[in-house]
Amino acid sequence: MVQSVELYDTTLRDGAQSWGVTFSLDDKLRIAERLDEIGIDLIEGGYPGSNPKDRRFFEIACNLPLKNSRLVAFGSTCKPGLTPDKDPQIQALADTAAPVAAIVGKSWDLHAREILAVPLERNLEMIRDSIAFLRPRFSRILFDAEHFFDGFRDNRPYAMATLAAAAEAGADLLVLCDTNGGTLPWDLISVIQRVKEDVPTPLGIHVHNDSDTAVAGTLMAVEAGVAHVQGTINGIGERCGNANLVSIIPALALKMGRIATDPLRLRNLKRISEFVDEMANRTPIKSQPYVGSSAFAHKGGMHTSAVVKNPVAYEHVDPEIVGNTRRFSVSEQAGRAAVIRKAALHGIRLHPDDPKVTEILKTIKDFEARGAHYDIADGSFELLLKKMLGLHRKFFTLHGFHVTNVKRQGDTKTYSDAIVRILVGDKMEFSAAEGNGPVNALDLAFRKALRTFYPKVSEVKLTDFKVRVIEGTSGTGATVRVLIESTDGRETWWTVGFNENIIQASWDALVDSIDYKLQKDPAPRP
């Protein structure tokens, strides 16, 4: 019988140590609820002994109606000069209503001697005493053997002694931590196998990603007999991050058969990945396995043609299982099959023998050679497709725009003003706006003019703006590509503009963004 693997998430503590990431109390509570939805067994809520926010988290979170998860309070062994009953952080841990506690202790003699600056035997006493003191206060105690693999390498007897001390004091699980992330997978499982020979207590694994092998090491540890894995959503964490649970969970469920996951929970993987990135104020990594927007995107003509015939040809799992979707990029490498498939996704049926397919493909390749990027800009691609097939509805005509930037002596701010003149039917509309830059001013003025005719353009918000110089041989006169991400709260789309003039390129992308919205949802004029 295959042993089931327990999932432990430390996004709210270890993940929050990622550079530039700060979770508010509300963020942490919302993330905890999402982790419960995908069936995480243990949610490490934070370090109550280190800050008031984490103490408050446990006060509130212990009353959350979690259906699948149990909360874990994190703490360290007592300080060298204190007994556990006199240590404030141990007391803060004991005061939480969390059912499970995780205690981190030093298992590398270097840390005991040089970081804690205590005799090796004193470090063992701190491990024993802390766990023994907390044992009656929690239904379960986990011991995180910090730096275990480095400690095992340098002083095997002592590293093993730290595990023995924790087990003797009542630890239910011993988590072997590759805290520096430098142990390669084959060395990691070699150590695990030797530990299992001498330690009857169940083992867990906690791997950092400093060698870019955290997921591989974690999965190999499971193969070596570990039944508890720790990680974070999207692999966020200190330095290079932690093992990525978004990759580990589908591997354990779909490829290794080590967890029985409800299909509905597995389909929430992409959603929670994007949610945590939003809470962490991070841009999602498009190439992230399983859940990234390009994880199942097919660009090359041969690949696209093959996937249309049989997705298994170039996909290792069905994207819908993890909440993702198959995408067919249209670019200079695309073939006829990609154009036909992409058109179908936009509700446009094209016959393979239709001469328009060749014409569309030629136009796309020509525009991409000049700087477009339809691989990402789905919104602009749909507009181009409709224009070439006579399906595009014209809602406005640009009559002109004017942008000025002024910086006066002594000012710390540059002022940008834009005037836009558009024609809708037989009515001319002028509009002016001030923005925090020329593109922002143009955007505000443009939408202000259109709102008179199409109020729903107010729903559109620009959520990302990227500028790239296509080639640098012309210096400041080089072609610039601008990509804009927009949303109306229901749908998200990308549009592109390209020109030697960055304002013109930005304007073209802005116009496409609004035009895309109007094509989908014009709404009657007031």
Q: Let me know if residue 120 belongs to a domain.
A: yes
Question: What is the reported pLDDT for 410?
Answer: 73
Mean of the pLDDT values across residues 510-518?
94
Q: Give the three-class secondary structure for 221.
A: helix
Same domain for 306 and 327, yes or no, is: yes
**What CATH number has the domain bearing residue 411?**
3.30.160.270
Please report which confidence band the pLDDT of residue 504 belongs to, taking 50, 70 and 90 as the band edges. very high
DSSP assigned state of 410:
T
Assign 328 a pLDDT band (cuts: 50, 70, 90): low
| The pLDDT of residue 302 is above 60 | yes
The highest-confidence range among 154-163, 254-263, 347-356, by mean pLDDT, is 154-163
SS3 202: coil
* Residue 282: inside a domain: no
| Six-digit token string for 184 | 């390669």
For residue 165, pLDDT beyond 50? yes
CA–CA separation, 404 vs 16, rounded Å?
42
Report residue 198 as tokens. Answer: 């001498």
Residue finishing a domain among 388, 423, 449:
388
Query: Does position 6 have pLDDT exceeding 80, yes or no?
Result: yes
Residue 275 lies in a domain: no
The pLDDT assigned to 497 comes to: 92
pLDDT tens profile 46-89: 999 999 999 999 999 999 999 999 999 999 999 999 999 999 99
Gyration radius from the chain CA atoms: 28
**382-394 pLDDT per residue, tens:** 899 899 989 999 9
The per-residue pLDDT for 339 is 77
The whole-number pLDDT of residue 103 equals: 98
Comparing 35-44, 220-229, 318-327, 348-357, which segment has the lowest mean pLDDT? 348-357
Q: What is the 3-state secondary structure (H, E, C) of 448-488?
A: HHHHCCCHHHHHCEEEEEEEEECCCCCHHHCCEEEEEEEEC
Mean pLDDT of 240-252: 97
Q: 180, 233, 174, 181: which is closest to 205 by C-alpha? A: 174
- pLDDT at residue 46, as a whole number: 96
**Whole-number pLDDT of residue 520:** 85
In a shared domain, residues 252 and 338? no
Angle in degrees, CA 71, 74, 75, rounded to 5: 155
* Predicted TM-score (pTM) above 0.85: no
Residue 30: is its pLDDT beyond 50?
A: yes
pLDDT at 334: 55
Give the structural domain span for 156: 6-261
Tell whether the torsion through CA atoms of 36, 40, 41 and 45 is positive or negative: negative
Same domain, 360 and 411: no
CA nearest neighbour of 150 among 208, 226, 70: 208
Based on the fold, state whether residues 407 and 365 are members of the same structural domain: no
Q: Give Cβ neighbours of residue 195 (< 8 Å, ≥ 6 apart).
A: 152, 160, 163, 176, 203
Is the predicted pLDDT of residue 435 greater than 70, yes or no?
A: yes
Q: How confident is the model at residue 254, as a pLDDT? A: 95
Query: Do 441 and 307 belong to one domain?
Result: no
Residue 414 and residue 337 share a domain:
no
Residue 270 lies in a domain: no
**What's the pLDDT band for 297 if we cut at 50, 70, 90?**
confident
Among 73, 103, 76, CA closest to 87 = 76
Number of domains in the chain: 3
β pairing state of 480-487 and 461-469: antiparallel
Same domain? 236 vs 363: no
pLDDT at site 346: 74
Higher pLDDT, 358 or 8: 8
Domain assignment of residue 287, yes or no: no
Q: Dihedrals φ, ψ of 301, to 5°?
A: -55, -45
Give me the mean pLDDT over the 107-135 stretch: 98
Same domain for 382 and 426, yes or no, is: no
Does residue 271 lie within any of the structural domains? no
Based on the domain organization, do 350 and 416 belong to the same domain? no
Query: In one letter, which amino acid is 485?
Result: E
* In the predicted structure, residue 357 carries a pLDDT above the cut 50: yes
Strand partners, 205: 176, 229
Q: What CATH number is attached to the domain comprising 19?
A: 3.20.20.70
In a domain, 288, yes or no: no
Given 362, 388, 414, the domain boundary residue is: 388
Amino acid at 362: K
Does residue 185 sit within a domain?
Answer: yes
* Same domain (yes/no): 417, 453: yes
Give the pairing of strands 140-146 and 427-435. Answer: unpaired
> Which residue among 341, 361, 388 closes a domain?
388
Distance CA 177, CA 198 (A): 18
Whether 422 and 384 map to the same domain: the answer is no
What is the DSSP track for 84-125? Answer: GGG-HHHHHHHHS--SEEEEEEE-SHHIIIIIS---HHHHHH
d(CA 188, CA 178): 8
Cβ-proximal residues to 154 (8 Å cutoff; 6+ apart), any chain:
108, 109, 110
Name 410's Cβ contacts closer than 8 Å, sequence gap at least 6: none
The answer, yes or no, to whether residue 526 has pLDDT greater than 50, is no
Q: How confident is the model at residue 1 (pLDDT cuts 50, 70, 90)?
A: very low
> Do residues 343 and 445 share a domain?
no
Tokens of 297: 């995107």
Please state, rounded to an integer, the average pLDDT across all residues of the chain: 90
